[in-house]
Amino acid sequence: MKKEEKKEEVLEEVVNPIDQLFDPENTDNIVLYNDKDEPVEFEQIAIIPLDDVNYAILQPVKKLDGVADDEAFAFEVVEDEENGDTLQLVEDDALIDRIFEEYKDLYNSQKK
């Protein structure tokens, strides 16, 4: 296999995490990069629409320092036509509480 063909093959494997989140057929884990540019794999838990904004609840697949095994993170789906959509970690405690409360409500309504 030529070097150029290998490069193209690797590029094809890179999947946009936003596309993964909104693909109802996709159940693969999502890979995001931390501030050290290291990959961190997350399990998709839910997409939560709240106040005209979409939030993703993601749980780390592997143990992270300082993070409980049952802990998940809330990410805002930031829509940006110019630079492409991104996921931004939600750090506001009150907003995190609202996101997880909405998740619980949606989950409980699905069980009925």
Q: What is the pTM of this model?
A: 0.81
pLDDT digits (tens, 9 = 90+) for 75-94: 999 988 887 788 999 999 99
* Residues 6 or more apart in contact with residue 48 via CB below 8 angstroms: 54, 55, 56, 57, 74, 99, 102, 103, 106
% of the chain at pLDDT higher than 70:
86
What average pLDDT does range 31-51 have in this prediction? 93
Supply the range of the domain harboring residue 58.
3-111
Say what the pLDDT of residue 85 is: 83
pLDDT at residue 52 tops 50: yes
Domain count for the chain: 1
Which residue has better confidence, 98 or 81? Answer: 98
Q: How does residue 13 score in pLDDT terms, banded at 50, 70 and 90?
A: low
Question: What's the rounded Cα separation, in Å, for the pair 41 and 33?
Answer: 9
